[in-house]
């Protein structure tokens, strides 16, 4: 009881600090009371800190442990999300399937738009390997194969994506496909995507895969192999970027989500939607977060 009370007092002191006014927001529905018992350090903005100048149409910086928002710009505006969509695709697969399950690709996906690794119809691949193609290379054919495997049809899978969004209280998110192709009713917000990423990052397999710079996967019979590199240019940079997801379409522009960790082990989620220079702006946000906050 005492530890919970201390946690509540600390949280109240942050929200009442004028330096934090208009800067911080936590997700009520993502909040777990047990987190107070762990007494996660609460980030405090230094008095001399100047917010970063971000050209992206929408952005958010979130402390991973507490869910507190360190910076935001149009974070509740509904926008196209491109391949950031694939985070939800991965969540549904990881929540329902073992990594060593075998997927027989039932359809020919060579004609779909966007990035592909050219999976062949009737090729057999492990769930884990399709997730690598989905999250490292951002392969749309891997997304379609996983969707069809899980739900029997892509349409049924999209229904489940939207139902999962509702259970996660992503009230400004709606899916029309598991890839991220532009569509009128396919949208999310920087805030919703930060919460979605926070949920996915609790899964060790997701964390492991999104941190990979490259991968080579084989069909179950080892007759076909696929080699690909990450689309996330910040992996391996001077900042300790643990990776999450890139996305680019005509409507979404250049978008990016990254998880970063400082020397003290504190982690932040940085989301950019429709950025003129997503990798540089993402670095700037993360660098500012760690230089301008104390935990």
Please state the domain extents for the chain.
Answer: 2-79+235-294
Active-site choice (27, 40, 83, 197): 83
Closest by alpha carbon to 195, among 84, 281, 275, 95?
A: 84
User: In the beta sheet, which residues pair with residue 188?
Assistant: 79
Q: Could you read off the pLDDT of 37-46 as tens digits, one per residue?
A: 456 789 988 8
* DSSP assignment of 111-179: TSSS----PPTT-EEEHHHHHHIIIII--HHHHHHHHHHHHSSHHHHHHHHHHHHHHTT-TT-B-S-SS
Q: Quickly state the pLDDT bin for 238 (edges 50, 70, 90).
A: confident
Q: So what's the pLDDT on residue 213?
A: 97
Q: In the predicted model, is pLDDT for residue 36 greater than 60?
A: no
Catalytic residue among 57, 72, 86, 132: 86
- pLDDT at residue 28 is higher than 80: no
User: Residue 247: beta bridge partners?
Assistant: 255
Could you report the per-residue pLDDT of 102-142, keeping only the tens digit for each? 999 999 999 999 999 999 999 999 999 999 999 999 999 99
Specify whether 83 is catalytic.
yes
* Residue 78 contacts residue 245 (beta carbons within 8 Å): no
Which is catalytic among the residues 138, 188, 275, 292?
A: 138
**What is the three-class DSSP state of 193?**
helix
d(Cα 231, Cα 101) in Å, to the nearest integer? 26
Whether the pLDDT of residue 49 is over 60: the answer is yes
Q: Do strands 58-63 and 44-45 pair parallel, antiparallel, or not at all (unpaired)?
A: unpaired
- Active site (annotated) includes residue 75: no
Neighbours of 118 (CB within 10 A): 11
pLDDT digits (tens, 9 = 90+) for 265-285: 999 999 999 999 999 999 999
CA distance 111 to 116: 10
- Is residue 4 within 8 A of residue 36, CB to CB? The reply is yes
The whole-number average pLDDT for the span 1-21 is 39
Tell me the torsion sign for CA atoms 107, 228, 143, 184: negative
Active site residue 110: no
Whether 57 and 273 have beta carbons less than 8 Å apart is answered as yes
15, pLDDT greater than 60: no
Q: Quick check: 246 and 134 in contact, CB under 8 A?
A: no
């Amino acid at each position: 009881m005492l530890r919970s009370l201390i946690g509540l007092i600390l949280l109240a002191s942050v929200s009442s600090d004028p330096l934090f006014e208009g800067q911080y927001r936590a997700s009520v529905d993502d909040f777990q009371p047990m987190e107070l018992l762990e007494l996660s350090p609460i980030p405090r903005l230094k008095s001399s800190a100047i917010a970063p100048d971000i050209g992206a149409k929408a952005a958010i910086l979130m402390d991973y442990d507490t869910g507190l928002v360190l910076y935001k710009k149009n974070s509740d505006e509904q926008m196209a999300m491109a391949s950031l969509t694939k985070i939800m695709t991965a969540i549904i697969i990881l929540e329902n399937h073992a990594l060593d399950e075998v997927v027989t690709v039932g359809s020919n996906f060579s004609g779909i738009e966007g990035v592909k690794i050219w999976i062949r119809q009737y090729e057999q691949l492990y769930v884990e390997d399709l997730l690598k193609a989905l999250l490292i290379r951002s392969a749309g054919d891997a997304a379609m194969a996983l969707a069809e495997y899980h739900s029997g049809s892509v349409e049924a899978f999209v229904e489940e994506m939207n139902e999962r969004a509702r259970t996660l209280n992503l009230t400004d998110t709606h899916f029309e496909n598991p890839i991220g192709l532009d569509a009128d009713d396919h949208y999310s917000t920087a805030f919703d995507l930060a919460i979605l990423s926070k949920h996915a990052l609790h899964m060790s397999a997701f964390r492991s895969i999104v941190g990979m710079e490259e991968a080579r996967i084989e069909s179950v019979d080892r007759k076909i192999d696929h080699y690909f590199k990450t689309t996330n240019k910040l992996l391996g940079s001077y900042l300790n970027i643990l990776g999450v997801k890139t996305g680019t379409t005509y409507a979404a522009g250049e978008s990016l989500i990254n998880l970063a960790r400082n020397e003290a082990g504190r982690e932040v989620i940085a989301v950019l939607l429709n950025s003129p220079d997503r990798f540089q702006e993402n670095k700037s946000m993360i660098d500012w977060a760690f230089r301008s906050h104390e935990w």
